[in-house]
Structures are given as C-alpha cells and as structure tokens.
Amino acid sequence: MLTAARRTQGTLPGQLASLTALEQVELQDNRLSGRLPSWAGALADGEIVRLDDNAFVGPIPAAWCAANGTAPTYSMVLTGNAGG
C-alpha cells in the first residue's frame, strides 16, 4: 500500500512508476497537481487507486482504460479534482 500524508504537494514523482506490485494506492485528500501521467494507472496492479480530492487536471490517460487489451480490474476514484 502506498499512502501520503495529508497536504502533500506537487506532482506524482516519476520514481513511483517502478512500484508496479502495489495492491492499493491511496493518495487522496492532498494537494497533488498537474496532469495524470500514463504510467500511474499501473500503480495498483489491478486493485485500488485513490487520487480523489487533489488538483489534477486534464483527461484520464488512455493507458489507464485498458490493461494488456482488457478492461482494468481496479477501483479508481478521481472525484474532487480540478478536471480539464
């Protein structure tokens, strides 16, 4: 599980791209911002991704919508962001 303390600021660091065996990513209720990187959709390895209540902008990357040509099996929560 990857979590961040409340009020964490900045963008998602590229170093997180190597953490592909996580079952849960819970980074909600922070001050993360910028565009959602395409690699971040693979962070939860088919489980839970919570990025809600941050300041992300732009569309959800297409890479998040399919894993190896199949529909993703994780729960993704993105509500409460700035949108695009």
pLDDT in tens, 47-58: 778 889 999 998
Query: Can you tell me the distance from the alpha carbon of 6 to that of 50, in angstroms, rounded to the nearest whole number?
Result: 13
Q: With bands split at pLDDT 50, 70 and 90, how would you rate the model's confidence at 45?
A: low
% the chain with pLDDT above 90: 18
- Cα–Cα–Cα angle for 13, 2, 28, nearest 5°? 80
For residue 52, how many other CB atoms are within 10 A of its CB? Answer: 17
